[in-house]
């Protein structure tokens, strides 16, 4: 059972770059998209509940901003799109879907950059992390099978970006952002990719400046975290840099299908 996460940097732009063909051929059971930048009525027709998929989107109040979308072969038993905090809910960043005994949180974490390309949104970003943690904590603590996937907008350790020394004061690699991810890991969440790959050079986002992706000067910003109960069903985790169509590439996990049981 393969589950994908992908920041598509605009679902309408991704549609023009072959998103539908990728979706049909990816072999996924669940596909979570982030930064879709569209309401349901703006989703290209070929991507609005294509045959064989259940589909829903959660949009930001601000047009053309943020948003997440979820495709699944099986209809979710329930989907939650609110964290119970208006300042976060207004940005359409969360879909928490339940499939039997498996809960999948498809999340677009905020960027810490402010309007002037400073770090002015870091407090908002960290507040979002903490609110989501609190919402999911009862289920994780209670032995629930939970995945949290998406664009976390943070590179966790020095091996998760190509140039750590030059980016120590940049949002996405600030100490307080990395410490928040540390807190999740200490609390029992597992970075699934690192179960299978300990080395560096594996990234999921690259600047759109010419030649940067070809030289693999990137950041690993996209993760799938697993609760202890979900980790028991983990069989693989990958980053898919060969997939084009966005400044991010998809990441995935493979699970024993019994996880939904």
Q: Catalytic site residues?
A: 151
Determine if residue 241 is left, alpha or beta; phi over 0 gives left, psi from -120 to 50 gives alpha, anything else beta: alpha
- Where are any strands of DSSP class E within 8-130? 30-34, 54-58, 68-72, 78-80, 94-99, 102-108
Measured distance CA(83)–CA(155) in Å, rounded: 24
Q: What is the DSSP string of 109-122?
A: PPP---TTSSSTTH
- Taking CA 144 as the corner, what is the angle to CA 203 and CA 204, rounded to the nearest 5 degrees? 5
Which residues lie closer than 8 Å to 244 by C-beta, 6 or more apart? 17, 18
| Residue 255, token pair as written in the block | 């699970």
Measured distance CA(88)–CA(76) in Å, rounded: 23
Query: Which strands, in side-by-side order, build the sheet including 222-226?
Result: 78-80, 94-99, 102-108, 145-151, 222-226, 190-191
């Amino acid at each position: 059972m393969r589950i994908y996460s992908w920041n598509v940097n605009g679902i309408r732009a991704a549609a023009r770059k072959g998103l539908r063909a990728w979706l049909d051929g990816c072999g996924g059971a669940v596909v979570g998209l982030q930064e879709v930048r569209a309401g349901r009525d703006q989703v290209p027709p070929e991507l609005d509940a294509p045959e064989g998929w259940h589909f829903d989107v959660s949009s930001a109040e601000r047009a053309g901003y943020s948003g997440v979308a979820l495709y699944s072969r099986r209809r979710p038993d329930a989907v939650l799109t609110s964290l119970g905090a208006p300042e976060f809910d207004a940005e359409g960043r969360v879909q928490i879907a339940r499939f039997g005994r498996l809960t999948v949180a498809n999340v677009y974490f905020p960027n810490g950059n402010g309007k002037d390309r400073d770090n002015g949104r870091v407090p908002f970003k960290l507040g979002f992390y903490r609110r989501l943690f609190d919402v999911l904590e009862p289920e994780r603590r209670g032995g629930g099978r939970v995945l949290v996937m998406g664009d976390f907008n943070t590179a966790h350790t020095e091996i998760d970006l190509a140039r750590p020394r030059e980016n120590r004061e940049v949002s996405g690699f600030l100490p307080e952002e990395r410490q928040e991810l540390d807190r999740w890991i200490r609390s029992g969440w597992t970075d699934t990719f690192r179960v299978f790959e300990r080395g560096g050079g594996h990234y999921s986002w690259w600047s759109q400046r010419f030649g940067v992706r070809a030289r693999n000067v990137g950041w690993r910003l996209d993760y799938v975290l697993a609760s202890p109960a979900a980790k028991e069903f983990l069989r693989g985790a990958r980053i898919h840099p060969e997939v084009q169509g966005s400044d991010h590439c998809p990441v995935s996990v493979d699970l024993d299908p019994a996880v939904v049981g």
